Amino acid sequence: MLKKAFFTNSSGILCSRIFGFLRDVLMAHILGAGTFSDIFFAAFKFPNLFRRIFGEGAFIQSFLPSLISTRRKGVFIVATFLIFVCIILLLSLLVWWFSGFFTRILAYGFDDSKIELARPIVVINFWYLELVFIATFLSSLLQYKNIFWVSAYNTALLNIFMILSLFLARNKEGMEVVYFLSYGVLCGGIAQIIIHFYPLYQKRFLKIFYVGIKDLCLLITKRAKSRVKNAYHNSIKSFFAQFFPALLGSSTAQIAAFLDTILASFLASGSISYLYYANRIFQLPLAIFAIAISTALFPTIAKAINNHQEQQARNLLKNAFWFLLITLAICVCGGIMLKDEIIFILFERGNFLREDTLITANVFALYLLGLLPFGLARIFSLWLYAHKKQKKAATISAISLSISLIISVILMQFFTLYGLALSSSIGGLVLFILTIKQFGLKEFKVILLYKKAYLILIGLLTLEIIALKIFLMFYSIA
């Protein structure tokens, strides 16, 4: 079951990222790296951050343990859904009314003319938050039933609709392209919701929703039995006590990239775009391997710990650790050696020039230094979430983010956007060290005692380096 879930997640993420790269190639070709691309990326950054936090971290890692442990599942599901939908709706309305203020927060370094252009784009993209929450919520219900294909593949729909919008805007220029892209985001969000309906119907969740609505009506009218009230209040209280710390604790890499965008708005035009393109490629191995395996692993670990099967959970973590260490190390080595060629193949065409390629490639290499710590920290954080230690995870994340932010502000003075990418990787290393300390150094040493895995790692890296050096003798853009 675990292997099947992992391959389902990784194949779905790979499919989504392939469409994502096609989207980025078209964007680089049509918009290049300048004012208009910076406006869209700044406006899309927060909705995209929200999608990653909810879809890949905080919500599912708090919602599933609470759903597993609660007895009144129907009312818990419906109440949680309504609470979040209403909160996000109010937030979106605030952004609509005070668009100038929120645009200034998202891109503080933009001048007044750029802020004025970005305001309506920020509002349009912000409505995607409501859509992505609904899609994530429905995906979490299916994951509870060990159905992963919908959550794995539904993200591809967003990229497909953005590609379609770029195709429609291929003969447009400047802000017209940005508007087409923004409405493409909303259409993709609607499609992400629709794809959930049939599997939810198959698993009879419509009946659970009906029961939940009925129980909630009884609670509102104060006609529910005391045991139902207690079960409802305890489950909701437990969930929110876990959710808010997890909001920070599971999203360090995404929040670091978000902060980079804000700081990059103070740098030369195009800096936000360079960081975006480099981070998109960095996120590919992180998503295919680290996020895919943690998504597949979490329900199993949570249920094992809930059933007091701690050793089984540790064995799963050990296998996941070595798998990630080997695969991510190969990605880091290959990515750094082929950084220029990767960016050249993916983006260098149209308005994306050779100078843009070289800058983005160097940023990408610096991001890759943080791939191993970010990826490995993610699976060990599952242990904390399954034990409902979201506050510990949040504290660790806050420390690593604070250190990363301080280093970013210092290094950007000397190395501009390269300093931002390097500080992100340093923050990832701090996150990994603190997470391992919380997991337990003795338990981690036991995981490290695996001689066969060391031999496999050294052998594969040696073969990779030799093969890539031979490849670069015949094909290099340097």
Question: Residue 295: what pLDDT?
Answer: 76
From CA 297, how far away is CA 447, in angstroms rounded? 17
- Top-confidence residue, 74 or 87: 87
What is the per-residue pLDDT across 173-219, written as a single tens digit (0 to 9) for each? 778 888 999 999 999 999 999 998 888 888 878 777 777 787 777 77
From the centroid of its chain, how far is CA 288? Answer: 11
pLDDT > 90 in the chain, percent: 28
From CA 423, how far away is CA 95, in angstroms rounded? 30
Task: From residue 404, give the alpha-carbon distance in Å to each of 247, 255, 391.
Answer: 18, 11, 20
Residues 90-97: contacts with CB under 8 Å, at least 24 apart = 91/129, 92/126, 92/127, 92/129, 92/130, 95/122, 95/123, 95/126, 96/123, 96/126
pLDDT > 70 in the chain, percent: 90
From CA 10, how far away is CA 334, in angstroms rounded? 19
Question: Residue 43: what pLDDT?
Answer: 80
From CA 116, how far away is CA 344, in angstroms rounded? 33
What is the per-residue pLDDT across 308-319, written as a single tens digit (0 to 9) for each? 888 888 888 898
Whether the Cβ atoms of residue 347 and residue 292 lie closer than 8 Å to each other: no
Residue 1, pLDDT > 60, answer no
Question: What is the torsional sign of CA 76, 77, 78, 81?
Answer: positive
CA trace torsion 388, 389, 391, 393 (10° rounding): -120
Domain limits, the chain:
2-474
Q: Write the single-letter amino acid at 97.
A: W
Whether the Cβ atoms of residue 197 and residue 209 lie closer than 8 Å to each other: no
From CA 295, how far away is CA 287, in angstroms rounded? 10
What is the per-residue pLDDT across 208-254, written as a single tens digit (0 to 9) for each? 777 778 777 777 776 656 666 666 677 777 777 777 666 666 566 66
Mapped onto helix, strand or coil, the DSSP state of residue 399 is helix
What is the per-residue pLDDT across 266-312, written as a single tens digit (0 to 9) for each? 887 778 888 888 988 898 888 888 887 887 787 788 778 877 888 88
